[in-house]
Amino acid sequence: MNRIFKKERDAASSFSFDFFFEKAVILLLAGAFLLFILYPIFTVVLKSLTKDGTWSLDHYRSLVTPRNLELIRNSVFVATLSSVIATVLAFCVGIFAHFKGVLVRKGIYRGLMMTMISPPFISAIALITLFGRRGLISYGIFGATLNPYGWHGIVLLQSLSGVSLSAMMMMTGFAQIDNRLILASRDLGADAWHTIHKVLLPSMVPTIFSVLFLQFTMNISDFTTPIIIGGRFRVLATEAYLQVYAQGNLNGAAAMAMLLLPPAMIAFYFYRSNMRKVQTLSERSKVLDRESIHFQLPQILQWVTASITIAFFLINLVQYGNIFLTAFSRNVSGSIVFTLDHWGVFQSRHVDALIRTIYMAVTASFFATVSGMLLSYYHQRRKIKGFGALEFIGSVPYIIPGIFFGLSYIVAFHRGPITLTGTLLILILNCTFRHVSVGNKAANAAFESMDHKLEWASNDLGASKVRTLITVVFPILRPTFLVSFINAFTACMTTVGPLMLLVSPGNLVTSVLMFNEINSGRYGQGAVMGSMLILITFSVNLFAIHLLNREKRN
Amino acid sequence: MRKLGLAVLILMLMFSLIACGQEEEPEESEDPGEAVENEEETAEGDGEEEAVEEKPFEGTVLEVSVAYGGAEDSFEQFTEETGIEIEWVSLSTGAKLSQLQAEEGETTTDIWFGGGVDSYFNARDLGYLHQYESPEFENIDPKYLDPEGYFGALSLVPFGFIVNEDLIEDLELDMPSNWEDLRDSQYSGEIIMADPSISGGQYAILSSLIQVMGEDEAWDYWEAVNENVDFYAQSGGEPQQKVAAGEFAIGLTAIHGQTFGLMETAPVAALFPEEHIPWIPAPIAIFENSENKEAAKVFVDWYLSEHGQTILMEADARIMANENVAPPEEMDTLNMEQLIDFDLEEMGRERENILDRWKDVIGE
C-alpha cells in the first residue's frame, strides 16, 4: 500500500524555508564532492595522460609489463585473502557477541574499539620484535629464526587489523535484524542451524558484503604494511608509492594508480548490485528487544566462535602490550633493555604535532561522517538523481591508494585560486573526503534494515523532509553515526598514505612521523607515538560514546 | 534530539563557509601574519634590549626539510643565537624532490638540509633552488660544492658496514673487511641494504663503486651480493637499525654520529672497507620559492661557519665541510686516502640509467 503512495509524498513539497535549506545542503554536498574529490583526481589523471607537456599514452604503455601484471596478481591475491579472512573472523566474533548478554556484548564492543585503533603497520612492530628473525619470543625463548617478511606477513597483519572494524559492523548488522524472524523460524520448528542458515545469514548478506568491500578496498590500496613487512613481495600500491616517493615519477605513478581502480570498481559494483537484491528482504519493522528472545547458538558454533573471539583478543593484548613495552625498551639481539630515551625525544619534539593531529582528526571525521550519512540518505531514501553517482565519487578516495589521493591534492591546490599546500586545512579536507565512504557505507547498511515506514509516517503527519531527517532519521542512525565517527576518527589519527606528501614542516602530523620512524627501523620511537595515538584515540572514542549515551538518556 | 540535528546542520554550514572563505583568500596571507604574531610574543617574552639590534630576524620562522640524522639537536642553539625559529620535518631527499615536482617548485619550505646530492642536482636543473654563494664557501673544498653555487656542503658522509658482533659470533661468520667479502655465500640472508632508488646513500655506494670498479665488474659484483640479500630496505636508515636489533648481521650504511651512538646501546661495530670508501657531501640549499631568503641566508652562513659547523658536529659527529673544523675523534678509523675519487656531477647525471640497470640485475 505504502509504495503506491510514495510518489505523491515525494511530490508534496512546499516552498518553505526547509525546502530551500535542503536544496542548499544538497548543492553544497554535490559542490564539495566535485571540488574536493573529482577535480583533484581529474588533474592527476590529466597528468598521467601527458608527457613533457603534450598528450601521450606513454605512461600507460610502459605499464604493460610482465612485472606489473605480476604486481596486480599479488595485489589481488593478498587483498582478497586478507579481506576474506578478516570477514570470516569478524562474522564469528559478531555472531558470538550478538547472542550473549548485554554486558558481554558491550565488553566485546569496547574491546573491538580498542583493538581497532592500531593501523596494520604498527602491528608490524609487534610481529617483528616478537616473532621476527631475532624476536623476543621466537628467538629469545625458542631460539628459532623466523622470517616475517613476505606475503604471509602482509596477510597476517592486514586480516588481523581488519577484524575489529568488520566485527563492529557485523554487530551493528546483527542488531538490525528483525528478531521476530528468529522467533517465527523457531516457532515453525526450525533448529538453530536451520535458523542461522535461512534467517540470520540472508539478513546479514548486505553487511557481509559491505564488510568485504570495505576490507578489500582498504587492503588493496594499503602500501604501508607491504612496505614494512612485505620484504621482496611487492604489490601495486607499494610500487605506486615508490614511483612517487623514490623515483619522483608522478605521471607514471598516476598511471599506475589507475590500475588499482578496475579491481576496486568490480568490488564496488558487486557490492551495489547485491545491495539492491536484498533490499526487499529487510523492509520490516523492529518491534522486539533482543533480550526477550531465547536463542542459543549450536554448541559447536558457540565453542568455535568463543575461541576465535578469545584468541583474537589475546593476540591483540600481546600486540598492544608489546607496543607499550617497545616504547620503554630496546631490543638488543633478542633480549630487552629498558630505557626512557624514546619518551624524552617525543616530549621535546613531537607534542605540537600530536595536538595538531587530534584537532585534524576530530574535525575531519565529524564532517566525513555527516556528509557520508547525508549522501546515503539522499541516495537510498530520497532517490535523488545523481546521488548514486555522487556515492560512487565519494567512495573513490577510499578505493584509490592514499598516496595518489594526497598527490592529487598537491597537484590541484598548489597554486591558483585555491592554494592550500602547507596548511592544516588541506590535511583536514583530504581526511574528510577520504573517509566519507566510511559513514556512507555504514549508513547504507543501516538504511537497508531500517523501516522506511517511519519516515513516511512522519511525513504523513505533516513534518517536512528536513524535519523528518533531523527528528526521525538521525536519532535512529545515532549508533551508526557513532560507529562511523569512531572509525573515521581512528583512521584519521593513523592514516599515512594521503598525508605523506601533504605534510610540510609547518603542518606535521604524528601518524606520518610514526610511519617514518617505523620505516627506518626505529621501533622505539615509533612505539612511543603509537602508544600516544592509541591512548588518545581510545579516550576520544570513549568520550564520544559517553556523549551519545547521555544524549540518549535525556 | 532536535538540537543535536540542528547543531549538525549548522556545523555543516560553517564548514562550507570556511571552505568558501579559504577559496578567496590564499594561504600565503596567513604566514606573515603568524610571523608577526610570533615576533610580538617573543619580543614581549624574553627579548629585552639586546635582541633588537643583534637579531634582525627575531621571530622569523624557517621551514626546514631535514635529511641529516641528528641535525635537529643543533637547531635550538641556532634559534637562541639568531632568534630565528625552526620548524622542521625529517624527509628523505627523494620524497622531497617528488613533492617539489608535484608542487612545481612552489613549496612553503625554505631550506633543504642534508641528504642525497643526486636529488639536489635534479632540483637545481628543474630551477627549484636559489643560487647563493655563501661567503663561507671559501673555507670549503670546491669539489663538495655546486660549481654555480646552488647548494653548499655541510659535511662529508662516508659509507661502510655496520656489523652485529653477537650475531657474527653466534653464526660463526667472518668479519667482513672489504666489498669483495660480501659476495661470500656464508652471509646468505644476513646482509641488509637499502633500495638505491629510495636511499640517496645507497645510490652513492652503487654509483661510486661503478665508477671505481668499471661497469661490467661492478654489475657482476652486485649480482653476486644480491644472492645474499633477502630484501632491500625501503629507507636509508633502516639497515643500521635492523642490524642493531639483531635482525641481520651486516648492514650497508652511512657512518656518522648516529651510527656511533648505536654502538653504545647495541653490540654493533661500524667498519670502513679497507679500500674504496664511497662518500657524498651532505648538501644544504635555499629553495627558490622561499619567502624568507634573507633569514635563510643567515641560516646557511651560520651552519657553514666554523662556529655553526662545530655545533652541528657535536649534534652528529661527522667530518665537516669547513676546513677549519677538525674531524671528530669517532672518525679516526676512516682512512681518508681510501675515499673514492669520483665525479659528483656524473653521479647525478647517470642516476636514471643506473637505477634501470639495477632493476634488471636484481629482478624487480
Q: Count of CB atoms within 10 A of residue A28's CB?
A: 18
Residues 6+ apart with CB under 8 A from A286: A176, A178, A179, A451
The 3-state DSSP class for residue B162 equals strand
Q: Enter the pTM of the model.
A: 0.80
* Mean pLDDT value across chain A: 82
What DSSP assignment string belongs to B1-56? -HHHHHHHHHHHHHHHHHHHHHHHS-GGGHHHHHHHHHHHHHHHHT--HHHHHH-T
Question: pLDDT by residue (tens digit) across A329-348?
Answer: 876 666 778 888 888 878 77
pLDDT tens digits for A387-420?
888 888 888 887 777 778 888 898 899 887 888 8
pLDDT exceeds cutoff 90 at A384: no
Q: Find where cell 593484548 sits.
A: A317
Residue A439's pLDDT is 86
The arithmetic mean of pLDDT across residues A439-443, rounded, is 84
Q: How far apart are CA A58 and CA A38, in angstroms?
A: 24
Q: Do B26 and A67 touch (CB under 8 A)?
A: no
Sorted by sequence, the CB contacts under 8 Å of residue A538 that are 6+ apart come out as A113, A114, A117
ipTM of the complex: 0.75
Are B98 and A32 inside 8 Å of each other by CB?
Answer: no
DSSP code per residue over A431-471: HHHHSHHHHHHHHHHHHHTS-HHHHHHHHHTT--HHHHIII
B236 within 8 A of B197, measured Cβ to Cβ: no
Query: In the prediction, which pLDDT does A554 show?
Result: 62
What is residue B137's predicted lDDT score, i.e. its pLDDT? 93
Q: Give the model's confidence band at B80: pLDDT under 50 very low, under 70 low, under 90 confident, else very high.
A: very high
User: Each residue of B60-71: pLDDT tens digit?
Assistant: 999 999 988 888
Mark yes or no for CB contact B246/A419 under 8 Å: no
Q: Could you tell me if B70 and B316 are in contact, meaning their C-beta atoms sit under 8 angstroms apart?
A: yes
Question: Exposed, middle or buried by CB within 10 Å (0-12, 13-18, 19+), for A477?
Answer: buried
Question: A294: Cβ–Cβ under 8 A, 6 or more apart, which residues?
Answer: none
Find all residues with CB under 8 Å of B284, minimum gap 6, and list them.
B111, B112, B113, B114, B151, B152, B153, B154, B300, B303, B304
**Grid cell digits, residue B218:** 661492478
| β-sheet bridge partners, residue A75 | none
CB contact under 8 Å between A246 and B197, yes or no, is: yes
pLDDT digits (tens, 9 = 90+) for A236-285: 888 888 887 777 777 788 788 777 777 667 767 766 666 655 544 444 44
Which grid coordinates belong to A62?
610502459
Write down the residue that cell numbers 592529487 correspond to: A408
How would residue A290 be classed by pLDDT, with cut points 50, 70 and 90?
Answer: low
User: How deeply is A368 buried, as exposed, middle or buried, from its count of CB atoms within 10 A (0-12, 13-18, 19+)?
Assistant: buried
Strand partners, B62: B86
Say yes or no for a CB contact (<8 Å) between A337 and B265.
Answer: yes
B169 — contact with chain A (CB < 8 Å)? Answer: no
Give pLDDT tens digits for A115-142: 887 777 788 888 888 888 877 787 777 7
End-to-end CA distance of chain B: 58
Selected for mutation to probe chain A from B14, B27, B97 (highest A CB count within 10 Å) is B27
Query: Is pLDDT of A314 > 90?
Result: yes
Q: How many CB pairs below 8 Å do chains A and B form together?
A: 192
Phi then psi for residue A150, to 5 deg, are: 150, -175
Closest CA of chain B from A459, distance in Å: 16
